[in-house]
Amino acid sequence: MKKLKSIVAVLLVSMLIIIPAATVSAAVIGANSTSAIENNGTYQYIVKDDGTIKISNYVGPDTTSLDIPSTMKVMVNGSMSECTVTEFGYGAFSKKSFERVSIPNTVKIIGRTAFKKCANLKSVEIPDSVTLVDAFAFTQCESLESLIIGSSVSTVGDFAFSYCPKIKSVVIPDSLTYLDLAMFSGDTSLETITIPGTLTYIDYCVFNNCTGLRTINYAGTAEKWNSIAVGGCNDILKNTTLNCNSGKYVYSSATGTFINPSSSEEPTTEPVTEPVTESVTVTPVKPAKTTITIKKSQVSIYLKDTIIINATVKNGRGNTTYVSSNKKIAKVDKTGKVTAIMKGTAKIIVANNGVKKTFTVTVKKPKLNANAKSIKKGKTFTLKITGQVGKATYKSSNTKVAKVNSNGKITAKKIGKATITVMTNGIKLTSKITVTKNKN
């Protein structure tokens, strides 16, 4: 499975170079709002439901320097209002000629492909207000040399800073606990990266083809670094020097971990001589190998459901850590309790003392036993939910045609059509009911 994911990740990295940028439609731009797209001559924008602004596209003149405003005067409900800019939408500034851009300290979300292929962009400072930098946000910014990531960024999407061949150093903020797929892939000049002690997971191909990487400055201990779960296609890390708070470390192929080169890998002892008896040679005892066993390596659960990973750790050191590869799909706490968030698949990496095991969680949506049903007048039918978590509610769009009770039992009252809406696991399901004539 690990080998298969490595191959898939490499293919994704390769495809990024040849896939053309998608055309951004109004439907995509407005995906998070019901408001219409407006145009003030410099920006196309949306006034979101919370009264803040999402910039969907820059339509102003070509310029080498851009100061994005923190507020904009816009028409809201028939009157002019000054609204705060909080989000950049899909491809909002992509393929522009900026050399410098100033992002205001009001922006919280930098959307997918927001600055993709800004080939002249030389410096970017992501302010502390930003919490999400979405996938491909700054990919293929070929002139980008200076990158500062704000202290509140907690999520960075796939390939976000990939193929920026002039970046030489990056500091990861404490708020970022995992590095997502191919985050810095193809950054061939990247020499130094500073990583916080809070980091728990490095995804596949994060440092793929970062051929210049030589130094990792890590805020934790070497023992803690060796416990971080690392996905495939990151072998370049083995060629780096790890600077920890306890000294410098290098990778040892013998142990598969980073060690202090000034100390011996193998413990040694000298003969112990008793005053009267013969000399005795004491054979050093190697510490027992850490093992992790998980009874089931994969499981399927439904939205909002939880499961405890049953991991058995023998001869471990310190705490066992649990990290989700995709917190948007499934999150995990420090005890191994997994909560299903949205439909999809996530990997939970269980680690202790440099030993790692992967637990795969597939999250499914609940479903009804009938998305459409014909019922004869006067008859009944009961809707059943597969994967229900907690209480479900039922509502009929036309109780004169079809009535439904709190247990999902439908009674056909009158010839016609009705839709039964079911709320379960935090989502909405529907069943279209057609009441037909009872020939009896």
pLDDT in tens, 268-312: 344 444 455 455 555 555 667 889 999 888 999 999 999 999 899
pLDDT in tens, 343-371: 899 888 888 877 888 899 999 999 999 99
The DSSP annotation for 133-148 comes to E-TTTTTT-TT--EEE
pLDDT in tens, 238-271: 999 999 988 899 988 888 888 888 764 444 344 4
Nearest to 303 by CA among 426, 431, 429: 426
Q: Report pLDDT for 230.
A: 86
Q: Is the pLDDT of residue 338 over 90?
A: yes
The answer, yes or no, to whether residue 10 has pLDDT greater than 80, is no
Cβ neighbours around 202 below 10 Å, total: 21
What b/e readout covers 359-395, taking b as 16+ CB neighbours within 10 angstroms?
bbbebbebebebeebebebeeebebebebbbeebebe
Identify how many contiguous H helices and E strands the chain contains and give both numbers. 3, 39
Per-residue pLDDT, 362:
94
Residue matched to tokens 């500062």: 148
Q: What is the pLDDT of residues 49-78, one digit of tens each?
A: 888 999 999 999 999 999 999 999 988 777
Residue 179 has pLDDT above 80, yes or no: yes
CB atoms near residue 411 (< 10 Å): 17
* Nearest of 330, 365, 372 to residue 349 by alpha carbon: 330
How far is CA 57 from each of CA 38, 87, 142, 158, 235, rounded to the nearest angstrom? 10, 11, 21, 22, 39
Whole-prediction pTM value?
0.61
CA distance linking residue 142 with residue 145, whole number of Å: 9
| Strand arrangement, sheet containing 372-376 | 372-376, 427-436, 416-424, 393-396
Are residues 341 and 155 in contact, defined by beta-carbon separation less than 8 angstroms?
A: no
What is the rounded average pLDDT of the residues 13-29? 39
H or E segment at 360? strand 355-364
**Taking all residues of the chain, what is their mean pLDDT, rounded to a whole number?**
85
